[in-house]
């Protein structure tokens, strides 16, 4: 990153860890673009940023990540600004106890937690490449260790639906995507990508999805995302999984090269994105 204030998009920034991440990044001098589904909620977070920093907040991005057309429109709205993007924090996520599908027929947890950030990242790659050192931060979860990606059943039509299983697999998808995208970007790329577990925080996902309280605060939950977004020590770190702002081992299934490659290509097909070529 240059000496100028970094420009950062935080998805799902209207409550919970995403909101705290956006606020803390702004407190540290970043220009934060808040994403949410509701104009009212995004405006409330923008107002909070302005109050805490004494600076005007950046215009928000509004999109329902269950809709790929809205993801494309969101990316186009940012690209129209004509600015480099320093950091993309793919934070938004859902947990659904019952099976639901998007208008495109995709299981909603998989669509919002994986396909949306997959597409958004690819659409914004050129803007990230224009930054001095673009960073992609994918918020996964320790639940990824319980994931079971099945390439032949990504739409969950061949097995009984499990809300926790769908969530865990979507978090495994975040790590698989991180590993393969990093490999395809290559070691010489100015754009890095890393994944993280934010901790166990009493967010809407935890309370409504898991029916439990977490021991970590919102500040704890935002800490690793903020670290990966801004800390100079990780400028050239790529393809890693972090817990409490430190590298940690991810599940072997989430880092398996053959699965990561096949899953990446299938994801690109599902969202209509051009896959990045294999890195030399």
Q: Kindly state the percentage of the chain with pLDDT values over 90.
A: 87
Query: CA triplet 170, 122, 192: central angle to 5 degrees?
Result: 85
The total of structural domains in the chain comes to 1
Domain annotation covers residue 278: no
User: At 137, which helix (H) or strand (E)?
Assistant: strand 135-139
Mean of the per-residue pLDDT values of the chain: 93
CA neighbor of 13 nearest in space, from 37, 31, 28? 37
Tell me, yes or no, whether 2 lies in a domain.
no
Verify whether residue 164 is a known catalytic residue: no
Which residue, chain included where needed, has tokens 């100028």? 4
Instruction: Give the residue-averaged pLDDT of 38-59.
Output: 97
Within a domain: 186? yes
Say if residue 211's pLDDT is above 70.
Answer: no
Q: Which two tokens stand for residue 244?
A: 């409490």
Is 276 inside any structural domain? Answer: no
Residue 206: the pLDDT is: 46
Span 220-234, average pLDDT: 96
Q: Looking at the predicted structure, is the pLDDT value of residue 82 above 50?
A: yes
> Quick one: DSSP state of residue 30?
-
In a domain, 277, yes or no: no
**From the candidates 164, 167, 241, 264, which is the catalytic residue?**
167
CATH number, residue 94: 3.40.50.720
pLDDT at position 156, please?
79
141: left (phi over 0), alpha (psi -120 to 50) or beta: beta
Q: Give the global pTM.
A: 0.94
Q: What is the mean pLDDT of residues 6-11?
A: 98
* Choice among 17-31, 110-124, 141-155 with the minimum mean pLDDT: 141-155
pLDDT band per the 50, 70, 90 thresholds, residue 280: low
Query: Is 192 inside any structural domain?
Result: yes
Domain range enclosing 107: 7-271
Q: Do you know the residue count of the chain?
A: 280
In our burial notation (b when 16+ CB lie closer than 10 A, e otherwise), range 24-58 reads bbbeeebbbbbbbbeeebbbbbbebbeeebeeebb
Structure tokens at 174: 């975040």
For the segment 119-135, what is each residue's pLDDT rounded down to a tens digit?
Answer: 999 999 999 999 999 99
Classify residue 262: in a domain, yes or no.
yes
Q: What is the pLDDT of residues 87-121, one digit of tens each?
A: 999 999 999 999 999 999 999 999 999 999 999 99
Residue 226 belongs to a domain: yes
């Amino acid at each position: 990153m240059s000496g100028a204030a970094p420009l950062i998009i935080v998805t799902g920034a209207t409550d919970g860890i995403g909101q705290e991440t956006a606020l803390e990044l702004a407190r540290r001098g970043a220009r934060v673009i808040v994403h949410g589904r509701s104009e009212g909620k995004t405006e409330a977070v923008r107002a909070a940023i302005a109050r805490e920093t004494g600076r005007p907040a950046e215009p928000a991005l509004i999109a329902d990540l269950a809709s790929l057309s809205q993801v494309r429109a969101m990316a186009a709205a940012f690209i129209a600004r004509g600015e480099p993007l320093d950091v993309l924090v793919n934070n938004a996520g859902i947990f659904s106890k019952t099976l639901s599908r998007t208008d495109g027929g995709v299981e909603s947890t998989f669509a919002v937690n994986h396909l949306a950030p997959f597409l958004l990242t690819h659409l914004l790659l050129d803007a990230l490449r224009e930054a001095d050192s673009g960073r992609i931060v994918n918020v996964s979860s320790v639940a990824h260790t319980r994931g079971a990606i099945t390439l032949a059943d990504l739409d969950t039509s061949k097995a009984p639906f499990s809300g926790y299983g769908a969530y865990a697999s979507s978090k495994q998808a975040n790590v698989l995507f991180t590993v393969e995208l990093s490999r395809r970007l290559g070691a010489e790329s100015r754009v890095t990508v890393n994944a993280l577990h934010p901790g166990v925080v009493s967010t809407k996902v935890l309370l409504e999805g898991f029916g439990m309280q977490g021991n970590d605060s919102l500040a704890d939950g935002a800490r690793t995302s903020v670290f990966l977004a801004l800390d100079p020590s990780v400028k050239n770190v790529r393809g890693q999984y972090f817990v409490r702002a430190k590298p940690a081992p991810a599940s072997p299934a989430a880092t398996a090269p053959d699965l990561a490659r096949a899953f990446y290509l299938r994801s690109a097909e599902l969202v209509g994105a051009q896959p990045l070529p294999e890195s030399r």
